[in-house]
Each structure stands twice: as C-alpha cells, then as structure tokens.
Structure 1
Amino acid sequence: MESLSKTLHERKFYMKRILMLLLALSPLGPVPAFAGGSTVLVAAASSMKFPFTEIAKAFERENPGTSVKLSFGSSGNFYSQILNRAPFDVYFSADVTYPARLAEKGMSLDSSPPQLYARGRLVLWIPSMVGIDPVKDKMVSLLNPSIKKVAIANPSLAPYGRAAVEAMNRAGIYIELEPRLVFGENISQAAQFAHSGAAQAGLIAYSLAVTDKMKTAGSFWEIPPDFYAPIDQSFLLLTNTQNPEGARSFARFVTHPKGQKILERYGFGFPESRPR
C-alpha cells in the first residue's frame, strides 16, 4: 500500500509538472476546464465590476472547487500596488499603458506580454431629477445652469477619467467646465457621485450606465468614439502569482466566447488583436 501511495503521489506530481509546462508554451492556449481546486486573485478596473462578477460565477460553475476573488479599483492604484508586490494573480486594466509598464519592469509571468481583452465606451449620464435629456442636448447638456457639478474619474489614476477630459476638450467645453468637475477615485465612484446627487451629471463607463441601478435613475448618451482615444484594455499575468494555472485559466475564460458574450452585454467591444 505504501508503494502504491508513493507511485500515485509521484504520478500526480509529474502530471502537474507536465500541465504547467504545456501552459507555459503559450500565455493562454485553448480553453479547457481548470483541473484543480484553488483561489484566483484578480485585480480589475472598476468598470469591469458587473461583467466580471458574472464571468467569475460562470467560471466557478465550470471549474468546481476553484474560486475567484475579485478586487475592483482604479487601474493606476492597482499598478502601484502590484509594483509593491500585492498578491494578485492577474491584472485586468482599463488601458494598455499600465500593464505594459509592469511588463517592462519584469512583473509579467514567464515574460509574457500584456494581451488585449476589451475596448471600453464612454457615456454622458444625467439623473432624471435634473430634467435634462442628454440624448437631445448631448455634450451641450453640461453647460446647462442646472448642472453644478460634473463627476469624472480621476484622470491621473483612471483611463476613463482621461477619456472624459479628452471628450470635453474635443467638444470645446473643458475650460468652462473645469471648475465644476468632481473626481472619483475610480469610474465606479464617479458614477456613484452622479447617482447620489453629489453631481448632476457624470462622464462614466457604458458598462456602468446600462446597469439596472443607473437605468432606473437616469438616462445616458454615448459619446462618439472620435471624441477620445480608444479605451483599449489589456491584462497581464503576474510574476508574483501563487496560482499561475488558475490565472491562465481565468484569463482564457475572459477572452474566449463565454466571457466575450458577457462583456458584449455590457457594451464592451473587442480589439482585433485580442487573443482568440
């Protein structure tokens, strides 16, 4: 019995090593179910809160015994945390710059490059209580005297905040609006400012505007994509991971059809060079 137990133990050990080697040959590879119970620690931009909550549940259903722990925040804050060795397995940013910088600093698993997974969209959202129709008045809505404060994500930390500034500049209204801007630490907090009445309008992610909470409290107009640089979003498998197999498996799930369908429901597009 002792010999049999040892043999089985050795076989499991070598099978695990072989699986890790096969996964290492490609940053992602095909999308089999992840064999093994564990926790995957995911850092994700706050614009991904609702789609990633659904994606994580779907992933867990297909991978019994594996759980996904999601942390949401601004891409810039996560960048700093990961530089300081925060214990995340994979980082989903709302831009391509932060993951690229981390990769340059040697923070990517097996030196794998960042990979695109989505393209975001920016909208102008106004609560119903303000009495302004953003679909009718578009960016000019923001000049209405009824709008005392405009919420955006902090542009120094959040890609959607940078896109909001670009859009206001493109519309020729940024200088006039600048004194009225209030900054959320991330795009979810900016949406909350507008929803709560702390601001009378918000430039927020489409993925937040289409949630039931926001749809019942206001309306939105999608800002034309030529008003701001494309919000291409990439992820990075992290060298500090304690669960490389789980990180790869979750990333595969996000970038393949089941994950894509969920992302599409929240308005995300897909850059042509994303993984397939």
Structure 2
Amino acid sequence: MKPLFFLRRAWLLAALLFSAATQAQPVATVAAASDLKFAIEEVATQFEKDTGHKLRFVFGSSGNFYTQILQGAPFHLYMSADENFVFKLADAGKTRDRGQLYAYGRIGLMVPKGSPLQADGELKDLALALKDGRLKKFAIANPEHAPYGMRAREALQHAGLWQAIEPKLVLGENISQAAHFATSGSTQGGIIAQSLALAPSVGRLGQFVLIPEAWHVRLAQRMVLTRDAPPAALAFYDYLSTPAAQAVMVRYGFEMPKR
C-alpha cells in the first residue's frame, strides 16, 4: 500500500506544480488603439479558442499609450493607430524591434439620426451648416494625442473649415469616445473611424460616409512587442497576420498591408 500511497502523492504534487507554473505565466496585456475595439475583440476571441492563450486588452489613445510605455507601463503588445509612435518607442529602446504594419484605417463623417447635417463625405454641407447656424457642436478625437483626431484635423484643414469649426469642437479622449459624442445626440455629428461605424451597435445610430483619403496623412497602423512580452503576446502578434484574422479586419473596413 505504501508504494501506491507515495505514487499518488507524487502525482498530486506534480499536478499542483504544473498548475502553479501555468498560473505563474504572465497574462499578455495589449495596449490597442480604440478604433480596434470591435475588430480586435472578435479576432482575439477566435485566437483564444484556437491557442488557449488568454489576453487582456486596454483600449485608448495611441499617443497616451506611447507616453505610458515610455514611462514603463507594463504593456506587452502595442497596437498603434499611427506608426510614428512605434518608431519613437523603438528608437528609445522600449521595444524588440520596429514592429510591423497590421492595417490601414480610414476616417469618415458620422451623422446621427435626427441631425440637421447631411452625410456628405466632401463636407460641403458641413461648410454650409457652419454658415447658416445649423452646426452647434461637432466631435473629433483630440488631435494632440489621438491619430484619428490628427487625421480629422488635417481633413478639416484641407476643406478650409478648421478655423471656423474649432470653437464648436467636442474632443474625445480617443476615437471611441469621439464616436460616442458623434452618435449620442450631444453633437450634430463628427469624424470617426470607419472600423467603429461598421460595428452594428454604432452604425445603426446614424449615417456614415468616407472622407477622401487624399485629404489627410494615411492612417498607417503598426504594432510592436515590448521587450518583456510573454509567449502569448508573441503568438497573437503572429496570429494577426493569418488569413482568418485579416478577414475579420477587412470586414471592419481595414485595408491589409501587402507583405
């Protein structure tokens, strides 16, 4: 009986050690630009089913994440809406390399139901609304740190509207918050990410039309692993280049970079 007793104890000890080792593995934390919220959560759900890895997402402004990572924030994968933030982190020695492009994004005009504005991608009605008083408030992401806000400002400057519309702007901390302002009735509309407008929960709230891409710097979105990234982060980084992941991204309006 004693050998069997000790064998069972050995099995139990091995199981406990395996469980402890598994639990000790760090959870991969992804700092993701908020335009990715719907698309990347869908991709991550399938990734976790396929691999068994678990991920933790924090969504926000790419510029804010850049500052936080520079100051030592414990993120493992950074998915920026502007590749320049990635390059600056790489130059500062905070990342494994200079990362890779994972998508190109687009901006457009979102007009909520009941708004006096017309859904016009060339912003001609927006210009008229500024003159005739129909426009009271207009939402964009904060261009000081949010790439989609930067591109919105460039588009408005291209249309010759920036100076007139600036006093009427309601600034979202990130593009997700700007989309909320643009669809909630607190503004007459706004410039938001196509990837958010294509989500049913957002798209049903109004009309969305693309703004010409030539009106602003292209939204080249780049991701990079930080130096202490665990295996789960590396696995997800690679998974984002698979046909299954890219099919989801395309469905949300992203253009895939050519490899």
TM-score class normalised by the smaller sequence? 0.7 to 0.9
Q: In the alignment, which of 48, 54, 75 is matched to residue 88 of structure 1?
A: 75
Partner of 2:172: 184
* Residue identity matched to 2:105: G
Q: Hey, what's the Cα distance between the residues in 2 that align with 1:235 and 1:169?
A: 28
Unaligned segments of structure 2, at least 5 residues: 1-5, 15-24
1:86 offset after TM fit, Å? 1.1
Q: Deviations over 1:13-40 (max 9, x none)?
A: xxxxxxxxxxxxxxxxxxxxxxxx7632
* Residue identity matched to 2:178: A
Unaligned segments of structure 1, at least 5 residues: 10-36
Structural RMSD (CA): 2.0
Matched, 1:164 2:152: yes
Equivalences for 1:1-276 in 2 at 5 Å?
A: 39-64=27-52, 66-109=53-96, 112-135=97-120, 138-143=122-127, 144=129, 145-241=133-229, 243=230, 245-272=231-258, 276=259
Q: Hey, what's the Cα distance between the residues in 2 that align with 1:93 and 1:140?
A: 31
Q: Hey, what's the Cα distance between the residues in 2 that align with 1:150 and 1:95?
A: 23
Q: Hey, what's the Cα distance between the residues in 1 that align with 2:26 and 2:50?
A: 13
* Residue identity matched to 1:90: L
Moved over 4 A (4+): none
1:48 offset after TM fit, Å? 0.4
TM-score (norm. length: structure 1)? 0.81
1:247 offset after TM fit, Å? 1.5
Higher Rg of the two aligned structures: 2
Count, aligned residues: 236
TM-score (norm. length: structure 2)? 0.86
Does structure 2 conserve the Cα–Cα contact (< 8 Å) formed by 1:45 and 1:92? yes
Identity over the aligned pairs, expressed in percent?
41
Q: Deviations over 1:182-241 (max 9, x none)?
A: 111100010111111221111000001111122211001100110111100101110143
